[in-house]
Chains A and B, each alone.
Chain A
């Protein structure tokens, strides 16, 4: 077998090279993953917090339903639900671009997993911290805002790192609804050029590079926000 890396300099039929197309696609992957990450962390932190509010059983139930719903349906099916079913059931969504619908799908799917991490992080804190905050006259909201969440979010940084890398990898399912991201590029360029190995190798390298970058960014954050003398335990295997 011989390599043919020149294939990336060929025109794809619309006046740009495959290389330019691939860089565009990389941008879409990062955009999908980045936007979904924001949705996932906001909703995950909210739902994870709600699940620990033992004085409000209805909020706990709401958050439990949220988590069970979004983590027990395959991501690909959720993408189809947002892209095809939601606009049909609620005409309001017909104006919403496909990119945003995929971001909802990926963001909510991941938020269920992050909610579980946030809940575990909050429950891992010594109970005394909550009592101390309440004894100082904080309201529950203030106790969460100033004492519990700042600690819990630090505790969950290692699992949040791997979940963020998972999110990046999971963004590949956006190919199924024709978002022009890396996997979509890989499939189409493979078909058009018949140089599948070169195309896949380049795409795989970009995914690995992106995942590595996410990992480094989180390692940096973890180092910046760590509290001296406060050691955080690592996560276990499994997932994706």
Chain B
């Protein structure tokens, strides 16, 4: 078909090359999402704290991260982490640290919008009940902000999953690398790229379809 030959692919090749890469891509996505949401929420709280000493560094961090290409951030961390800890570091570990730090900036913008979407009256009501700042945030504001923003957070996770392919820049072994390696060894690089595209498409399309469903359900509850 059009000069391509997809018959080289067997289960052996998939389990030998692709599955390990797929697992790393998924692991990276999950860790970076969870870490990014935790640190992103902290950054959002800092930016909304009203204290300059907290707002300024958080704002600089978030806007700085958001104005640099992810590939450059990946390169930066890969260069700097060994420098800071004094010993070489694997591309995979470096990628995980990078993605947590990078995604925190994006998740913080989402969480900030989510926190601001909660009516002020709720915060005041919490205060009137004698809740501390921590209790108010933990029990009243953040659960609702999180629920309101769930579709956006998940959409960001899908984008994050796509972006994990950029670890190509430092040679980490992810889903894309699994396919390209198999393609190289078996002399079918073009077919391998095509199959990688199909796998990414199926995963991302299924995920975004589920998010759309979820969004419809949440909209009804609200």
Contacts and interface: CB of A to CB of B under 8 A. Distances in A.
Interface residues of B, number: 43
Dominant secondary structure at the B interface: helix
A165 B106 CA distance: 15
A173 B71 contact: yes
A175 B200 contact: no
B77 to A, nearest CB: 11
B166 A239 contact: no
Interface string B55-70: 0000000001011111
Given A73-B204, A200-B79, A237-B109, A90 B2 contact: yes
B190 A196 contact: no
Contact of B190 (A78, A84, A176, A200): A84
15 contacts: A72-B204, A74-B163, A74-B166, A85-B4, A170-B69, A172-B72, A176-B168, A176-B169, A200-B75, A208-B64, A237-B108, A237-B113, A238-B106, A240-B66, A240-B70
A72 B208 contact: yes
Interface string B177-216: 0000000000001100110110011001100100000000
Nearest to B160: A240
Nearest to A29: B69
Contacts, number: 126
A77 B110 contact: no
B106 A187 contact: no
A59 interface: no
Nearest to A235: B113
B156 interface: yes
Nearest to A165: B67
Interface residues of A, number: 43
Contacts of A173: 71, 166
Interface of B: 2-4, 64, 66-72, 75-76, 79-80, 106, 108-110, 112-113, 152, 155-156, 159, 162-163, 165-166, 168-169, 176, 189-190, 193-194, 196-197, 200-201, 204-205, 208
Contacts of A187: 75, 169
Given A88-B3, A89-B2, A172-B71, A80 B109 contact: no
B152 A74 contact: no
A236 B2 CA distance: 43
Give 3 nearest A-B pairs by CB, closest first.
A237-B109, A172-B69, A72-B204
B154 to A, nearest CB: 10
Interface in A42-93: 68-69, 72-78, 80-81, 84-85, 88-91
Given A207-B72, A208-B68, A237-B112, A73 B197 contact: yes
A240 B159 contact: yes
Contacts of A200: 72, 75-76, 79
Contacts of B163: 74, 240
A183 B67 CA distance: 14
A129 interface: no
A76 B176 contact: yes
A125 B162 CA distance: 32
A231 to B, nearest CB: 19
A159 B71 CA distance: 22
B193 A197 contact: no
